Structure 1
Amino acid sequence: MSLQWEQVIVHSADPAALGKWWAEALGWVVVYASDDEFEIRPEADRMPGLDFVRLEEAKKSKSRLHLDFRPDDQDAEVARLVAHGAQRVDIGQGENPSWVVLADPEGNEFCILGRRSE
């Protein structure tokens, strides 16, 4: 038996708006869109993807699952994403962590990691 990781589901009040935000932030392509679902992938035939699915219930607390990204230049990537609409958030990460916690327009947290230790 084998499993292939296909996608991560992100509940969203506005799947198209949030999915478009992430597609632009990541440089990914849209592979499916409807009123209640919006799926993006790195390339049309490359997985895993992110699938934004409508959920009317508002986010109530810290996300139990979040994405981590490791850029070449952490400061530049944080600045780019903040300019794109992300917000810095404090989820109790303490002082001087090697990562930066941001939230997308619907408040879903994600991290921009620092340089990988050699």
Structure 2
Amino acid sequence: MTLVWEQLVVDAADPVALGRWWAEALGWVVVNDDPEEYEIRPAPDRLPGVLFGASRDAKPVKNRLHLDLRPDDQEAEVRRLLALGARPADVGQTGEEPWVVLADPEGNEFCVLGPRRP
């Protein structure tokens, strides 16, 4: 049996705006610009993608699933993402972690990791 991870689905109040934000943040391309199901991928023919689907449900609590991103330069990447519209997020971290928790424009948390340990 073969199983392929096709995409991650994210509920969004504004799928187009959130999808565009993540496409810019990740440097990915838009493969479907439907306002109800906006999808981005690393390249048009590369999986997995992220599909932003329309939802009227409010995000009540911290995400149970989040992305961990590992840049070459954590400090520079955090500055860039904040300039794009991310904001700092508090999910109970102590301040001693080697990652920074941010939230996208709709409040979905993600981590910007520090350098990989040898």
Letter in 2 for 1:102: L
Q: Report the Cα offset of residue 35 of structure 1.
A: 2.5
Unpaired stretches in structure 2, ≥5 consecutive residues = none
SS in 2 for 1:38: strand
Question: What residue in structure 2 maps to residue 40 of structure 1?
Answer: 40
Aligned length: 118
SS in 2 for 1:63: coil
**Residue-by-residue CA offset, 1:37-76 (whole Å, 9 max, x unaligned):** 1000000000001000011011000001100000000000
Letter in 2 for 1:115: P
**Residue-by-residue CA offset, 1:68-112 (whole Å, 9 max, x unaligned):** 000000000000000110001110011221000000000000000
RMSD over aligned CA atoms reads 0.6
The separation in 2 between residues aligned to 1:101 and 1:39, in whole angstroms, is: 24
Q: Which runs of 4+ in 1 moved over 3 A?
A: none
The separation in 1 between residues aligned to 2:3 and 2:63, in whole angstroms, is: 25
Letter in 2 for 1:113: L
Question: What residue in structure 1 maps to residue 103 of structure 2?
Answer: 103
SS in 1 for 2:64: coil
Question: What residue in structure 1 maps to residue 112 of structure 2?
Answer: 112
What is the TM-score of this pair, normalised by structure 2? 0.98
Question: What residue in structure 2 maps to residue 2 of structure 1?
Answer: 2
Question: What residue in structure 2 maps to residue 91 of structure 1?
Answer: 91
Work out the percentage of aligned pairs sharing the same amino acid.
62
Pick which of 107-116 and 87-96 moved more: 87-96
What is the TM-score of this pair, normalised by structure 1? 0.98
The separation in 1 between residues aligned to 2:7 and 2:63, in whole angstroms, is: 17
The separation in 2 between residues aligned to 1:81 and 1:53, in whole angstroms, is: 22
